[in-house]
Amino acid sequence: MKVLLLTQVLPYPPDSGPKVKTWNVLKYLVQNHQVTLVSFVRGDQSAEIRHLEKYCQAVHTVPIERGAWRDAWYMGRSFLTNQPFLMVRDDRADMRHLIDRLAIETQFEVAHADQLNMCQYAARLPKAHKVLDAHNALWLLYQRLADTMPFGPKKLLLQRDWRLLKKYEGQLCREFDTVLAVSQEDKIALEEAAGKSLDAIVIPIAVDTDEVALVNRQPNANHILHIGTMYWPPNIDGILWFIREIYPHIRAKRPDITFDVVGARPPQEILAYHGQDGINVTGYVDDPAPYYENCSAMVIPLRAGGGMRVKILNALAQGLPMVSTSLGAEGIAVQSGRDILLADEPRAFAESTLQLLNDRYLANELGGNGRKLCQSVYDYRVACQPLARVYQQFSF
């Protein structure tokens, strides 16, 4: 089948959660379908485009720029139109024109919108079967994020936007031919938005366990690690919570420990902790391998979010021992004490982290079990199989 895959970010290299998910969906689809990829790009991504052209029938891109002044303009438009800010922000004339041209040139049988932002473009292909591939229930993610914030302008804006997102997301779930959710929890949230039961297909986010290698951790490793995009608001909230309420308990018992915060574009409020009490804020690193090798415990201290955390799937595939909140591990078939340690209160989170720092046998056992779980359940060759059945129904 001829498939138009619409993505908000170019899905290569797979160095962030959304890109990992889309990269593995793309690899699965191209085995049996002719996929044309359309994506926004930021800056010069010509090398990445050339790599993707090896897999796709064609790759088309539209440059997109972001910035505070642009965001203020789109926020104003959001208030005028009563549409969600994120959807207004990503509504670009150049992308609309490209989609309209491609629709004339090729009769696509499927328009696969990767994330909610791209549904407005899939809707421009009236004759194609339309798939909403939801990385998360976006309205729920923003509601949870708003709940973590103190009263103020940011909280009020997020409260407004999650309500608009819920209405918008529910409408698209009713209108699209197929909705894909990454977890049962997300499916329930999307059904709440739609106001009806949905025939949504749950397909978990997948990784490639051939690409994600088992980490050979140093026997004397004494670093705590968090790795993720540090401009993503739930990650910022989680790291600040960890530093302020959890890390002091750990440091009091293990003053030799270093906490590595690895990820692109950390905000000033996190950078301010760099160099204090063994906290090392690196920003983006080209090669995170040394940080993985020195990791005694990966921490996922999330208090807001939706979908599935790819950082947990990657850590499972790498055999890294980890501590997460229950919400952080939501939608992933881990069992606390077998594959991971789960804790939701600061003291319990600190004690669980100390367990991994002090008990190498436990850390190694969790890491080994996590690798096996990822290979058997979350490798893309296994996890994406329901996608084949979804596409088969379009051929009749």
Residue 180 and residue 244 share a domain:
no
* pLDDT classification of 165: cutoffs 50, 70, 90: very high
Summarize pLDDT for 349-392 with one digit per residue, the tens: 999 999 999 999 999 999 999 999 999 999 999 999 999 999 98
Q: Which of 265, 263, 261 lies closest to 240 in space, CA to CA?
A: 261
Report yes or no on 211 lying in a domain. no
pLDDT in tens, 26-39: 999 999 999 999 99
3-state DSSP assignment of residue 208: coil
* More confidently predicted of 131 and 151: 131
At 396 the pLDDT is: 58
Amino acid at 159: Q
> Based on the domain organization, do 40 and 186 belong to the same domain?
yes
Within-domain flag for 171: yes
Confidence of residue 271 (pLDDT cuts 50, 70, 90): very high
CATH of the domain at 228: 3.40.50.2000
- One domain, residues 374 and 390: no
Q: Is 216 part of a structural domain of the chain? A: no
- Residues 235 and 142 placed together within one structural domain of the fold: no
The reply to whether 275 and 321 lie within a common domain is yes
Asked if the structure places residue 212 within a domain, the reply is no
Same domain? For 25 and 127 the reply is yes
**C-alpha to C-alpha distance for 148 and 234, rounded to whole angstroms:** 9
pLDDT number for residue 51: 97
Give CA–CA dist 288/299, Å, rounded: 15
Average pLDDT over every residue of 86-104: 96
Q: Establish if 213 belongs to a structural domain.
A: no
The answer on pLDDT for 167 being more than 80 is: yes
- Does the pLDDT at position 305 exceed 80? no
Average pLDDT, the chain: 94
Examine residue 361 and state whether it is found in any structural domain, yes or no.
yes
215 lies in some domain: no
Residue type, 122: A
Give residue 370's pLDDT: 96
DSSP designation for 207: B
pLDDT greater than 70 at residue 180: yes
Q: What is the domain extent for residue 183?
A: 2-206+380-394
Same domain, 35 and 139: yes
Residue 100 lies in a domain: yes
Give the pLDDT mean for 146-173: 92
Residues 281, 335, single domain; the answer is yes
Q: For residues 221 and 110, what is the distance between their CA atoms, to the nearest angstrom?
A: 49
Task: Write out pLDDT tens, residues 221-265.
Answer: 999 999 988 988 889 999 999 999 999 999 999 999 999 999 999
Q: Is 159 found in the same domain as 267?
A: no
Q: In the chain, at which residue ranges do the beta strands (DSSP E only) sit?
A: 2-7, 34-41, 58-63, 110-114, 129-133, 178-181, 201-202, 223-227, 258-262, 279-283, 295-300, 322-324, 341-342
Task: Tell me the per-residue pLDDT of 188-209, one tens digit each, with 9 for 90 and over.
Answer: 999 999 999 898 999 999 999 9
User: Has residue 145 got a pLDDT over 80?
Assistant: yes
Q: How many domains does the chain have?
A: 2
Torsion of CA 305, 148, 339, 372, to 10 degrees: 10
Judge if 147 and 239 occupy the same domain: no
148 pLDDT above the threshold of 90: no
Q: 323 and 259: one domain?
A: yes
Whether residue 371 sits in one domain with residue 242: yes
User: Got the DSSP string for 245-280?
Assistant: IIHHHHHHH-TT-EEEEE-S---HHHHTTTTSTTEE
